[in-house]
Amino acid sequence: MATSSRAFSTHSERDGFTLVELLVVIAIIGTLVGLLLPAVQSARESARRSSCSNNLKQMALAVHNYDSTRKQFPPSSSNPYMQTVTNTAANWDRIGFIQPILPFMEEQSLYDRVVAYATAGGRPWDTATKSSVVCPYTAQPKSFMCASDINQTQPKANGPKGLTSYHCNRGDIATTWQNIHDGNSGSPITVEWRGPFGDGTAGSCGLSKITDGSSKTIMLGEMAIGTGDSTFPGGSGNSATITGWTKPNVCAALGGPGGYPGAVYTSTGLIGSLWGDGDTRFTSFFTILPPNSATCQTNSASNVAILTANSYHQTGVTIAMCDASVRFITNYVDAGDPSVTPPVTALGASKWGVWGALGTAKGGESVAQIVD
């Protein structure tokens, strides 16, 4: 007698996963996502850092081209050449280092607007139209901004002005935008600046004057843009009287726990919020405290500041050397003893370790170990 094969079938049918199988799949997907997201974030930051390095490179090359033409770097403020081209005695002195290099950055039309605006009476901190000339300082060239900088919008406290993440190196002594001051009397000292950018013709170096070596002297560096609430990044409202002879640890103590990407405090202006202004807080920094430490400024008309290079990159900042090479300097670079009283002379070795030495143009220090 034939037996039906159906009687001996062991096949069973089902419509989907069991609960255990589903949980296993979800766990595997979650693990993969957890592994993938940091890699994606790291790749994005790597791309942003690369873009930032390229921006600094292009700006450094523009400074070189200016040096080839004018036989010096553009002063950080009070550039006599800009006084001549704007045909004015009143509105040129706070024009910063960026405007003169605009023609070498494929920004000739913006430079022409700057000249026309200054000639018409406009200043770097203005926004209004002057004699039918529209303000150029509301323009925002992308090459002025680091993609990692979180503050990509115009700070509320300063109105619709263009920003910059890139500042010039003023050396290792905190100053106003115009003068180095004597540590005892507070009187201005008529000297060349310790960094490659200073005030006026006598204040700026050219490549031929950097005796420490162009590959061992910082030209430009990053500063995170102010956050729009009248404080510097990380600030919480602390304040201190900062002078050219304030010990760096006084400022460092205000940074609070963490202090990243830099802390402190002023109600007189936001870091990087005016790319055209030669005032220290807007387009300068000093090699005093190490990268991503505190930044401090007196809340007064003197505007003396300890302005510290900082960024939203991990563990350090991108800088351009005077030979136009680009380096990454970590937060842990040797910066000397912050409890020491700052120097008040234009010459001599920096007191702030390797970091300070990288900031001086004529200090005579050897810093090969940090840049090789």
What percentage of the chain exceeds 90 in pLDDT? 35
DSSP state for residue 364 in the 8-state scheme: -
State residue 363's pLDDT score: 86
Q: Is the pLDDT at 185 greater than 50, yes or no?
A: no
Specify the pLDDT at position 369. Answer: 47
**Residue 63 confidence (pLDDT):** 97
Q: Are 362 and 211 in contact (CB under 8 A)?
A: yes
How high is the pLDDT of residue 310?
86
Report domain extents, the chain. 36-371
Q: How many CB atoms lie under 10 A from the CB of residue 144?
A: 19
Contact (Cβ atoms closer than 8 angstroms) between residue 210 and residue 230: no
Position 11 scores a pLDDT of 52
The model's confidence at residue 179, banded by pLDDT at 50, 70 and 90, is low
More confident residue, 304 or 349: 349
Query: What's the pLDDT tens digit per position in 229-262?
Result: 444 433 344 455 666 677 888 888 766 433 434 4
CB count within 10 Å of CB 122 equals 26
Separation of alpha carbons 35 and 31, rounded Å: 6
Confidence of residue 266 (pLDDT cuts 50, 70, 90): very low
Spatial neighbors of 201 by CB under 8 A, at least 6 apart, are: 72, 75, 79, 80
Query: What pLDDT was estimated at residue 260?
Result: 38
Comparing 265 with 153, the larger pLDDT belongs to 153
For residues 306 and 174, is the Cβ–Cβ distance under 8 A?
Answer: yes
Q: What's the confidence (pLDDT) of residue 345?
A: 65
Q: What Cα–Cα distance (Å) separates residue 316 from each residue in 79, 173, 236, 294?
A: 31, 21, 22, 14
Which pTM does this prediction carry?
0.81
